Amino acid sequence: MKIGLGYDVHKLVYNRALILGGVTIPFFKGLLGHSDADVLIHAIMDSLLGASCLGDIGRHFPDQDKKYKDISSLELLSKVLNLIKTNHYVIENIDSIIIAERPKLSPYIDHMRKNIAKTLEIDISMINIKATTEEGLGFTGKGKGIAAQSICLLNKDHSS
C-alpha cells in the first residue's frame, strides 16, 4: 500500500480558458501555464507519481518542452497511468480538493469525476473531488489563482 500527496497552484489571467478536471468552465479568467494549467489534474498526477515513487510531473513533462505546450492535462494523466501500470500499481482511490474563491464549481464536479475515472480506467466511485474557498484570505482567496490538492492510495498489482 502506497500513499501519495499532490499539490498545484496556477495564477488566474485573462484570455485563457478555465479548465479543471478536464472540464472547460465558463469564467472570465483562466489559469496560466505551459499546458492547459489544469491544477486539479496536475495535483492528481503528482499524488499518483509520488505514491509510486516516480518523481513529479515536472520530471516527466518539463515546461521547457514544446511538445507539452497547451497539451490537455487529461492526456498527461493518461501517460501517468501508463507509468504506474508499468510499475505494477493499481489505483485504490483518489481524494482531491480544489481551492478557489470563484467560480462556483459544484455544478461541474460530477463531469470532472467522469473525465478522470475514464482517463484512469477506474470506477467513478474511486474518485472524490471537493471544492472550497478560503474566505477571502491568501492568494486563492483574493481571486488571484486556483490551487488543488490530491491524495491517493495505490496497491501493488500482484496479478501481473
DSSP codes, 85-135: HHTTEEEEEEEEEEE-SSS--GGGHHHHHHHHHHHHTS-GGGEEEEEE--T
Confirm whether residue 46 is marked as ligand binding. Answer: no
Confirm whether residue 116 is marked as ligand binding. Answer: no
Confirm whether residue 62 is marked as ligand binding. Answer: yes
In 10 A of CB 21, how many CB atoms? 28
Confirm whether residue 61 is marked as ligand binding. Answer: yes
Confirm whether residue 27 is marked as ligand binding. Answer: no
Please say whether the beta carbons of 82 and 48 come within 8 A: no
Confirm whether residue 95 is marked as ligand binding. Answer: no
The 3-state DSSP class for residue 34 equals coil
Confirm whether residue 10 is marked as ligand binding. Answer: yes
Confirm whether residue 149 is marked as ligand binding. Answer: no
Please say whether the beta carbons of 38 and 73 come within 8 A: yes
Please say whether the beta carbons of 60 and 18 come within 8 A: no
Confirm whether residue 8 is marked as ligand binding. Answer: yes
Please say whether the beta carbons of 35 and 48 come within 8 A: no
Confirm whether residue 121 is marked as ligand binding. Answer: no
Confirm whether residue 28 is marked as ligand binding. Answer: no
Confirm whether residue 64 is marked as ligand binding. Answer: yes
C-alpha cell, 157:
498489482
Confirm whether residue 139 is marked as ligand binding. Answer: yes
Confirm whether residue 136 is marked as ligand binding. Answer: no
Which residues are known binding-site members? 8-10, 34-35, 42, 56-58, 61-65, 132-135, 139, 142
Which residues are known binding-site members for a divalent metal cation? 8, 10, 42
